[in-house]
Amino acid sequence: MTFFKNKLWKKSIKYKFVLASTLFIVLTVFLCWIVFKNFLIFYYEYSRTEILGDTYNQINEIYDSDKDIYDYEDGFSNPDINEDVALFFERLSTNKNTSLYIFDIYYNEHNIFLNVSYPPPKSLTNNQRDILSSRVEDYYTNDSNNQKEKSLLKKSPRYNIYRVYDNRMDSQYIELFGSLNNGSTIYLRTNLESMQESVNIANNFLGVVGVFASVVGIIIMYFISRSFTKPILDLSDIAKRMSNLDFDIKYKVNTSDEIGTLGTSINTLSEKLEATISELKSANNELKTDIQKKIEIDEMRKEFLSNVSHELKTPIALIQGYAEGLQENVIDDEENRNFYCEVIMDEADKMNRMVKKLLTLNQIEFGNNQLNFERFNIILILESVINSTDILFKQKNVRLEFNKKEPVYVWADEYMIEEVITNYISNALNHVSGENIIKVDVIKKENTVRISIFNTGNNIPEDEINKIWGKFYKVDKARTREYGGSGIGLSIVKAIMDSMNQKCGVNNHEDGVEFWFEVDSKI
């Protein structure tokens, strides 16, 4: 009877092990099938996105390294890419199952013209020309009848990658659209539909293989389970927990045989792994922190240099204007000549102070700057900025409306507020049109004072109002280029007002645009 019970106990352990092994195999296969079915297509999409980015980099390197990339035998107006480079491009697009187009874009108010470098224009089919023209028009106008869905997959400084549904072809594509270092435009396109079919076939095959593997695995486990005992199951359980970074459980060593030795080794391994992983996590966290700080410092440095170059343009222009006036003897009396000299000296001093304050502004973005809050008459600041830019008002034939004379006292950082007003006035001068009127208003409220600067002209599109405060954002890039703007003036305003916990904003009116900010009038 004892023997029978003993044999039954052994069979029970064996059956439990077989059942556990069977469930593990089936669950693993099922999870693999679920993962393949739901995530394989996304992984492929990610992979294709990286391949397109890598293809872009390879082509960009070719243009950077190969100065003889063009063949000028047929003339310099429309040179062809030489045969070696063309062969490389063809091999690259074929191996990576990607359509490649390289071209230059010329456009006017009504039409977009393409000068295709690759594929060679002679080999370009009508269908390829239609696809290329349609996609280029879509990316420049964001209005294509052939497009149902377009989502951004990856954004970089020189290119963007999208997933696009082409209604005409009833297919999904991954497309890269960007510019090379030489100024040419590159367009890469790869099809997703073929991968979907491959994914379906792979999933079906995995299902069949999974069923077969499960059956075979159950049979094998039935035979090998005879040699397994409970200590092995315990050790297996401990190992599984260790793989999931659970080091709390330890094996109770009751014997000095091989199982006992293995248990002792696993306990030692668990302790060492726990200590090592803890050290790695600490080191990894410190490394991530250091890397992030370096990135932030580098970005702040770049933005700071851009801000300096932008903000120095206006005082330099004033100094140059008054200096030219002195050089050309546009004034005859000593009093006006002295005035011109004073303005030049004043603007030079402002430039010096501006550089110092821009350093402070850079510290504000890091949260290391101490603002100097004081009570001052903001009317004097407005008059100072207006007087210093009077020559620009006259040059542009702008009529200024500002009749506020009585003092209005506020609490803020005086220089920072002068910076805000200067940026607003400069922005108004750059965008005034129509009746050429700039109006400055000072509105007293209960505990605050609102300063508004209005200019006649075109409204800001409603969908772009919230974007104008971002660094380097330009509503009208062509107009911005005309006056040399960098698109950071309003971002400086936002940074200053945020540092003082005050509000600023913009309102569209029927005949123009109003920019405003608020400061405290009481402590």
Q: Residues 402, 452: one domain? A: yes
Beta strand segments in 424-503, E? 437-444, 448-456
Give the C-alpha separation, 392 to 222, whole Å. Answer: 92
Q: Which two tokens stand for residue 87?
A: 């062969």
Q: Residues 164, 53: one domain? A: yes
Can you tell me which residue has the tokens 């039935």? 222
Among candidate residues 275, 292, 309, the one where a domain is terminated: 292
What is the per-residue pLDDT for 480? 47
Q: Which two tokens stand for residue 240?
A: 């599984």
What is the per-residue pLDDT for 361? 54
Give the CA dihedral 153, 192, 169, 96, nearest 10 degrees. Answer: 100
Q: Residues 259, 174: one domain? A: no
Rounded to 5 degrees, what angle do the CA atoms 39, 45, 46 make? 90
Please check whether residue 319 is in contact with residue 347, taking contact to mean a CB–CB distance below 8 angstroms: yes
Q: How many domains does the structure of the chain reveal? A: 3
Give the C-alpha separation, 104 to 323, whole Å. Answer: 43
Going by C-beta distance under 8 Å and a sequence separation of 6 or more, which residues neighbour residue 89? 59, 81, 100, 102, 118
What is the per-residue pLDDT for 4? 43
The amino acid that residue 323 corresponds to is A
Rounded to 5 degrees, what angle do the CA atoms 423, 401, 513 make? 50
Q: Residues 56, 166: one domain? A: yes
Is position 381 within any domain?
yes
Q: What is the CATH number of the domain that holds 507?
A: 3.30.565.10
Among candidate residues 292, 321, 346, the one where a domain is terminated: 292
What is the per-residue pLDDT for 484? 42
Can you tell me which residue has the tokens 């040399």? 484
Is position 245 within any domain?
yes
10-residue mean pLDDT series, the chain (523 residues): 46 65 79 76 83 88 73 54 82 84 78 80 78 77 58 88 80 87 86 73 75 75 62 72 72 70 78 79 82 78 65 74 75 74 78 61 63 90 91 90 87 89 91 92 91 93 84 56 56 85 92 94 77
Q: Residues 234, 103: one domain? A: no
Among candidate residues 268, 292, 316, the one where a domain is terminated: 292
Q: Residues 46, 175: one domain? A: yes
What is the per-residue pLDDT for 12? 56
> Cα–chain-centroid distance for residue 173?
22
Q: Residues 491, 415: one domain? A: yes
Give the C-alpha separation, 470 to 59, whole Å. Answer: 32
Domain coverage including residue 250: 229-292
Give the C-alpha separation, 61 to 88, whole Å. Answer: 12
Q: What is the CATH number of the domain that holds 181?
A: 3.30.450
β-partners of residue 190 are: 174
What is the per-residue pLDDT for 452? 94
Is position 477 within any domain?
yes
Beta strand segments in 195-347, E? none
Q: What is the CATH number of the domain that holds 241?
A: 1.10.8
Q: Residues 81, 178: one domain? A: yes
Going by C-beta distance under 8 Å and a sequence separation of 6 or more, which residues neighbour residue 160? 152, 154, 176, 177, 178
User: Per residue in 478-512, pLDDT tens?
Assistant: 444 454 445 667 878 888 888 888 999 999 999 99
Q: Residues 504, 417: one domain? A: yes
What backbone torsions phi and psi does residue 182 show, to the nearest 5 degrees?
-85, 0
Cα 4 to Cα 10, 200, 314, 320, 401: the distances in Å are: 10, 52, 101, 109, 109
Q: Residues 40, 188: one domain? A: yes
Going by C-beta distance under 8 Å and a sequence separation of 6 or more, which residues neighbour residue 182? 63
Is position 139 within any domain?
yes
Is position 76 within any domain?
yes
Q: Residues 76, 168: one domain? A: yes
Is position 175 within any domain?
yes
DSSP, res 446:
S
Is position 337 within any domain?
no
Q: Residues 191, 280: one domain? A: no
* Sign, Cα dihedral of 495, 497, 499, 501: negative
Is position 174 within any domain?
yes
> Cα–chain-centroid distance for residue 518?
31
